Chain A
Amino acid sequence: MKFAKFTLAATLLASALATGGAFAEEPKRGGTLVTVLGTNVRNLNSAVQSGIVTGYPGAQLFASPLRYDEDWTPKPYLAKSWSVSDDGLKVTLNLVENATFHDGHPITSSDVKFSVKVIQENHPFKSMFAPVKSVDTPDDHTAILNLSRPHPALMLAMSGQLMSIIPEHIYGDGQNPKTHPRNNKDVVGSGPFKLVEFKNGEHIILERYDGFFIEGRPYLDKIVMRIISDPAARAIAYENGEVHMGAFESLPRIINRLKKVKGLTVTPDGYGAIGPLDWLAINTTKGPLKDKRVRQAIAYAVDKKFILKAIMQGTAVEANTGIHPDSPFYEADVETYALDLDKANALLDEAGFAKGGDGMRFGVTIDFGWPGVKPQVEYVKGALKKIGINVTVRASADFPTWAKRMGTMDFDLSWDTVFNWGDPAIGVHRTYLTSNIAKGVWSNTQGYSNARVDELLDMAARENDPAKRKALYSEFQKIVADEVPLYFTNALPYHTVYSDKVGNPPLGIWGTSTPIDMTYLKE
């Protein structure tokens, strides 16, 4: 009997493999998906508000021209097709013809033109659409973006939450789009779900938009986004089934505990484009830290493996450059600074910082912006003591206090977490460009300046050929790894948690910052 069952299963498996993916079950219509957000949402209008918290509701309410799944190739969404001119200066979008906003108004090329303008003026990521000079609208369903230079980052910038198409007839009334009354109330969107209710601090409720331009989608009738800020309470809500799905869980202990729960899947997939990275920032303009050898010595003394194993408890992957390991531009072949105290000591001696009578060479401070990274900071203090660097930990009362210190380069060392935000031109360049030194938190707060790096990034920003672009970014990553303005340790261990009841959870490169029109509830 057992044998018979086994053969049956094997036959089924074989036939499924033969037909190629017939295994996938048919998605079901209907149901209410209960999800959870860890932070209160400030603004639902993703054309003016960026960030991972707005990204999730924003991508359900508003559609973008393109979308991505697990690989890094753009797929049609609001644009059924697109083309880039040979000189790379014209990007033509052909919009789907049946698309409407939630109030029934057709979505036209002039809405695209309007949205680009609003994003250019109000979105915090200026680099996304900076090269767009103008938008032509030869007819209702064709929008042509005229560029001042080739701009490969545009592809990712036209997807996910980054290019939300908003209605001109609502937001074009002359009011400031950043504080527009329709940002959080009576939102008229272009995406698969429309807003039912947004109760600040409590929940967001969305419901299926029946007029969505993709036939038969979305599958879900309703999405409830509950706001639960306590991670321990969130974990219990996943466990007892009150919540079906949540993203951006980053506490190692909770991730490891939830992994053992039956009926739950906990996965690190879906964060490649957002690209969150942890690193040790080094102020390259201060005292001994000006010397590359000192920075290298610090890197040799801080053991990445210890951070990954003991602090991250195996939940995070190693990252050795400023580009997320999931990105096609990630260069794995760089100096990784495996623990080597002898080398570190030798480098410091060579740099002229001999040990004093007490065994110490010099002192630096280390900052951190949020309590979650205190273990890393304390570890760095201990690790550097071994090579004679005396580290004083400077706590900040809260985030703004730390942000101010970073933004004005009032620090020696600091633990930091920075996101890639899709294309490197959007979220990576800002950390290394000489022109972006000390321009607030998450700019080039290290005071790092290298003419070749500036040149490479500038070329990469305008190189449309993927292979050539990859080569430029490879060289850039090798230089930075050698000069250590930042010592890269790991990717932030963001995880998505979902119950067995959820079919097709959003695990593409943009995670939950994509429309979840294909997600469904089983049974």
Chain B
Amino acid sequence: MNILQTILIRIAYAIILLLAVLVLNFSLMHLAPGDVADTISQSMGGADQEILDEIRRDYGLDKPFYIQLGTYIGKVLQFDLGHSFFYNESVTELIMQRLPATLLLVITAQILALFIGVVLGVISARRPNGIVSHFVTFLALFGYSAPVFWTGILLLIGFSLQIQWFPVAGMRDVTISGGFFVHFIDVVRHMVLPVITLSSIFLALYSRLARATMMEVLGSDYVRTAKAKGLTQREVVYKHALKNSLSPVITLAGLQFSAVISGAVLVETVFSWPGLGTLAFQSIIARDTPTILGILFFSALVVIVGNLLTDLALRLVDPRVGGKG
């Protein structure tokens, strides 16, 4: 089977999968008691029955379920994610407004975690029973098990309140004025704490995986050969072993990346980071169906496209993958 055929089949699967995601989520949202009219009335401090009915009429919530679902799917097929009930804005626009902030946060945290994680993993693999190794293990377990909202608040108390190095919330300080460089530094200062918080979870995963694969590789035949040639320990580890031990870590990073949105929800909420995570959280609270579905649709799309690209990349890199299938 050639690559083009594979891609076409995968795209066909992807479309079916996306539709399934939408129908399933739409039905789930519909099954929950209450609707957005209640949350709109909450945001207004209560409303008369008349107003509630009007809101439901305005958004077509008074129609039978299958008509609502049909209308929605019909719109999506025309690449229209609809209008947010709660914010009265186009869902696509809402998502696009928030996406850059989330990407900035998640990509930075991922790169940082990947880099530090691998370094820590390798160091601890070289002396699996040394003090450094135990310390890294402890750090990894702690980072992975401590809830991010707790880590986040702790960092805030330490570095925004006790030592006032970093700002508390948001992505920029709207009261400062200056050129590009001033604003760049401002955003970087706002990023430090959320990035550390978010990368603490990823860091644990990467350092543990890097440690395990490195230890495995270090015990393999070619490493013994390299040692026998008389290479130094440093050369063996960084020139020969590291390359081979990295591939599982990179695969994991690819998988983790699909979780762009889910991973950021809590961190974004604690730091009021104006990204997709906070939007997702607020929309769920508000029962804003079009926005929730839009975000889910978008995340599903990211996952599917990400997997497709990973597959293709593996085919190109490693001829053994998918040779016949």
CB within 8 Å of B: which A225-269 residues: 226-230, 232-234, 236-237, 239-240, 242
Extra 10 A-B pairs, beta carbons < 8 Å, given A441-B46, A443-B46: A43-B88, A199-B97, A199-B274, A230-B272, A240-B161, A240-B168, A399-B34, A400-B38, A405-B33, A440-B49
Give 7 CB contacts A-B under 8 Å: A52-B45, A179-B58, A184-B88, A228-B169, A242-B169, A400-B36, A440-B41
- Classify chain A: how many residues form its interface, as a range: 35 or more
Is the Cβ of B49 less than 8 Å from the Cβ of A443?
A: yes
Q: Is A110 an interface residue (CB 8 A)?
A: no
Give the nearest-CB partner of B166 in chain A: A240
A404 to B32, CA, bound (A): 10
One of A13-21, A83-91, A201-209, A483-491 contacting the partner: A201-209
| A330 → B minimal CB distance (Å) | 20
Pair A50/B39 contact, Cβ less than 8 Å: no
CB contact under 8 A between A49 and B285, given known A201-B279, A401-B34, A441-B38: no
Q: When the two chains form their complex, are residues A403 and B38 in contact, meaning their CB atoms are under 8 A apart?
A: yes
Within B25-80, the residues touching A (CB, 8 Å) are 32-36, 38-52, 58
A51 interface residue (CB < 8 Å to B): yes
Residues of B near A427 (CB, < 8 A) are: 45-46
Complex Cα spacing A50 to B44, Å: 4
Chain B residues with CB under 8 A of A183: 88
Q: For the complex of A and B, list the 10 residue pairs with the smallest distance between their C-beta atoms, beginning with the closest.
A: A400-B34, A124-B47, A442-B46, A403-B38, A404-B34, A439-B49, A202-B274, A50-B44, A400-B38, A237-B168
Does B271 contact A404, Cβ atoms closer than 8 Å? no
A281 to B183, CA, bound (A): 51
Closest residue of chain A to B53 (Cβ to Cβ) is: A440
Segment from B8-16, B152-160, B218-226, B233-241 that makes contact with A: B152-160
Cβ of B282 within 8 Å of any chain A Cβ, yes or no, is yes
Contact residues in B for A439 (Cβ distance below 8 Å): 48-49
Instruction: Scan B100-137; emit 1 where CB is below 8 A from any A CB, else 0.
Output: 00000000000000000000000000000000000000
Bound-state Cα–Cα, A379 to B270, Å: 29
Complex: chain B residue closest to A439, CB-CB: B49
Q: Are A205 and B174 in contact (CB under 8 A)?
A: yes
Instruction: Produce 1/0 per residue, A427-466, CB < 8 A to B.
Output: 1001000000001111100000000000000000000000
- With A43-B88, A441-B46: A228-B170 Cβ-Cβ less than 8 Å: yes
A403 with B46: CB separation less than 8 A: no
Q: Which residues of B lie under 8 Å from residue A230 when comparing CB positions?
A: 169, 269-272
B245: Cβ under 8 A from any A Cβ: no
In the complex the two chains form, what is the Cα distance from A201 to B274 in whole Å?
Answer: 6
A412 to chain B, nearest CB (A): 17
| Set of chain B residues within 8 Å of A407, measured between Cβ atoms | 38
Instruction: Tell me whether A126 is interfacial, beta carbon within 8 Å.
Output: yes
**Which of these, B50, B156, B168, B285, contacts A399 with CB under 8 Å?**
B285
Residues in A whose Cβ lies below 8 Å from that of B271 = 230, 233
Interface residue? A155 (CB, 8 A) = no
Given A126-B50, A233-B153: A398 and B164 within 8 A (CB)?
no
| Cβ of A308 under 8 Å from chain B | no
A399–B39 CB distance below 8 A: yes
Q: Which residues in A have their C-beta under 8 angstroms from that of B5?
A: none
| Complex CA–CA separation, A71 to B270 (angstroms) | 39
User: Closest B-chain residue to A32, C-beta based?
Assistant: B175
Partner of A50, one of B45, B94, B153, B287: B45
Q: Is the CB of A401 within 8 A of B33?
A: yes
Tell whether B216 is near chain A: CB-to-CB under 8 Å: no
